[in-house]
Amino acid sequence: MKIAWLVLSLVHLALSKPSCRCLYGEACWPKESDFSDLALQLSQPLLYPKPPGSACYPANNPSGNCSEVMLNALHGRWRSDQPGSMQAPNFETFMFLNGTISACYINATLGFPCTQGSVPEIGVNARTIQDVQATVKFASTHNLRLVVKNTGHDYLGRSTARGGLLLWTHNLKNVSYNPAFVPSGAPPEKNYKVSFLALTVGAGVQWYEAYDAAQAQGRVIVGGAGSTVGAAGGWIMGGGHSPLSGRHGLGVDNIIEFGVVTADGAYRTVNAYKNPDLFWALRGGGGGTYAVVLSATYETHDPVPLTTIIGQANFTSPTIAKSVITEFVRVHPTLADAGWGGYSFLSKESLSFAFVAHNVTVTDASTALEPFLSSARNATGGGPLFQSVTLPYDSFYTFYLETFITDGEVGTNMELGSRLLPHDLSKQNPEKVAEIMLAIPQGVGINFVAGGAVSKVDPETTGLHPDWRKAIALVFFIEGWVDGTPASDIQAARARIRNGLDTLDGLAPGSATYFNEASLYEKNPQKTFFGSHYKKLKDIKDKYDPMGLFIVASGVSSEDWDGSLNCRLN
């Protein structure tokens, strides 16, 4: 009896002990000979990524060029070309539980040592399907923490992990255009319309490259406002909002087909006819979760002229601020229904905005916005306190060249919080929305990228959170800090993010938001990011990745792992 009890106890202990990934520096880490064997299967030499700042520490990186780093640290294209760089460098750092920070700050005069932080020590520069397959199989065989990274545009830090193996897809740059693209496996029935004017982009293609490629064919593609964001990575798998969304829908509404490598190392074509469940999940179920996406095929559109109305208002009192912002909110539902979009930032002191109207004349656009413009002029007294200008463009591409070709908000430490803004609330109670947004001390940005065509899509056709189809915008706020900031101050900034989220929760009882532009500190990320689709998404995740090779912060099945995402809890 005692022996049986002992055996059962040992079995229980073995089963209850967390199963952890093998990390760099641990005894289980693959031997040099193992990596040599992997290298023989790859088209490129293995990578040994370093944080960009290491170039400013000769002892760490003797061949580094610190002048080049300092010159380019705020440039998105340069950062995306560095395997060890993130667009927000705080995700290159690592904070231990005791508050110690491992980092490599570009400013060496701060007096901190240059350490690896969260940047993986070794990686693969993927150029072929076979490179990706070999890496996936190697990571699975050796139980490694696999990290998939393209550009490093990631507000949740999903593109890096301390001690992991990096799979860098940035150089998968193939682009092709097909004026009669037919998804693989589509039914051949007569008169069945399945062909598309389609652009296929590799995993490493960025939006500035995709926009150029579409323009060369006289076409328009629905893409992101960040020109250096990847066109076939986390952007599309998180939903993908765009300045064109009001007219043509979100990225997930325009995708036709993916080429992926799943956790078993198999290459799969994924569309409405082949692996349709995975196709559903990849359209909004979150990046880095189901497979490594190697290519994405988008439907393209005819170009049309557009009109923008840009304005700035300054407030001299809280009463004026509330009055103007209430009217600003009030106009959004009508514009959303007409397919408009835009971007704005507001605080207790000011409002700046840029509305975009596709295939709308300057006269008609001005007429549509005049009620708000008049109320803003009256409330502020006009003059230098309120200014606006209306600009015509012959196409989205021309607008993009003037507006989005350079990336802002890169190279600085930042985290954010966000919520989707419901259409009905904005229409029925704009004053409440104004009060909530003005209560955020950091000020808020409004990505006016929903409504219109986005709202016309059946929410069950993609894995995206259904609340996107009832929203008109994403409201967000940012917290940032300078390099060398103590852990206690960073934690205080994160506490302010939590407080801000509590305030923004007043916008919607469901507390839904966009997975790509959100906080790491959500109380219920499954509900917030995926809503009623979560169970189905998890079932698909378990089907294609039963061992959990692809795990990212707040992603599907992340609740099965500890806070480090290295050890399985159940």
Q: Whole-angstrom Cα distance, residue 252 to residue 271?
A: 12
pLDDT at 408: 65
Structure tokens of 256?
A: 């036709």
The full length of the chain comes to 570
Prediction pTM value: 0.94
What class does CATH assign to 22-168?
alpha beta
Crossing angle of helices 207-216 and 396-403, rounded to 10°:
150
Written as tens digits, the pLDDT of the chain (570 aa) is: 444 444 444 344 344 445 899 999 999 999 999 999 999 999 999 999 999 999 999 988 888 899 999 999 999 999 999 999 999 999 999 999 999 999 999 999 999 999 999 999 999 999 999 999 999 999 999 999 999 999 999 999 999 999 999 999 999 999 999 999 999 999 887 667 789 999 999 999 999 999 999 999 999 999 999 999 999 999 999 999 999 999 999 999 999 999 999 999 999 999 999 999 999 999 999 999 999 999 999 999 999 999 999 999 999 999 999 999 999 999 999 999 999 999 999 999 999 999 999 999 999 999 999 999 999 999 999 888 999 999 999 999 999 999 887 776 799 999 999 999 999 999 999 999 999 999 999 999 999 999 999 999 999 999 999 999 999 999 999 999 999 999 999 999 999 999 999 999 999 878 899 999 999 999 999 999 999 999 999 999 999 999 999 999 999 999 999 999 999 997
Domain edges within the chain: 22-168, 175-302+549-568, 306-531
Sheet architecture: strand order including 413-422: 386-393, 306-314, 350-358, 341-346, 444-448, 471-481, 413-422
CATH of 175-302+549-568, one of 3.40.50.1100, 1.10.150.120, 3.30.300.30, 3.30.465.10: 3.30.465.10
- Residue 33 half-sphere exposure toward CB, CA atoms < 13 A: 0
Domain 306-531 has CATH 3.40.47.10: no
DSSP 230: B
- Predicted pLDDT of residue 509: 79
For 374, the 3-state DSSP assignment is helix
pLDDT in the model for residue 73: 95
CB atoms inside a 10 Å sphere around CB 411? 21
Q: Do 22-168 and 306-531 show the same overall fold?
A: no
Other C-beta atoms closer than 10 Å to the C-beta of 440 total 21
**DSSP line for 14-40:** HHHSPEE-B-TTSTTSPPHHHHHHHHH
